[in-house]
Amino acid sequence: FRHFATVDDMLVAAVEEAARLVEASLPSADDAPLAPLERIAALVTSRSDLVRAHPGLAWVLLSDQSYLTLPEPGVRRLRQVVKATRVFLLTALEEAAVRGQLRTGLEPAALLVICLGTIHALARGTQPRGGPQGRTAVVAALIQLLQNTDPKS
């Protein structure tokens, strides 16, 4: 505690560290050559690995209580990180749709919820059978659900 002037300062610093970890789990610009669905798979995998390695992140990112108890600068920072994740995923989904790689008849914004739900389920410790291999199967199933299977479109 002695390194911080107030408890709020300490909480904001903790949120900043959490935000740094979360932002580092976004695929980098070096991954830009990856196809949109591969970028989604990379994010789902890296984010679930991150939260499994740092279980407190799930509370910070997913709990309503964190938004009610953290000081306003921390809440703003959390919202910024969550928005960056949503924008990353939605951009990849929209790009996949434009390329004809996304299942037809489904809106990218609706599929965003499915992608986020997969991340949340894996982040909250929903352990598929087979441990990490099971997680890989879940990510592969997500991509299969998203992927356009109609060669005509």
Residues 6+ apart with CB under 8 A from 81: 18, 19, 22, 23, 61
In sequence order, the 6+-apart residues with CB closer than 8 A to the CB of 56 are 18
Residue 34 has pLDDT above 60, yes or no: yes
**Which of 148, 43, 41 minimizes the C-alpha distance to 96?**
148
Average pLDDT for residues 90-108, to the nearest whole number?
94
pLDDT tier at 141, thresholds 50, 70, 90 = very high
Contact predicate 59/130, CB 8 Å: no
Tens of pLDDT, residue by residue over 44-86, are 999 988 988 888 888 888 888 999 999 999 999 999 999 999 9
142 token code pair: 């997500």
CA distance 50 to 52: 5
Radius of gyration over every alpha carbon of the chain, rounded to an integer in angstroms: 17
Its pTM stands at 0.87
* pLDDT for 130 beyond 60: no
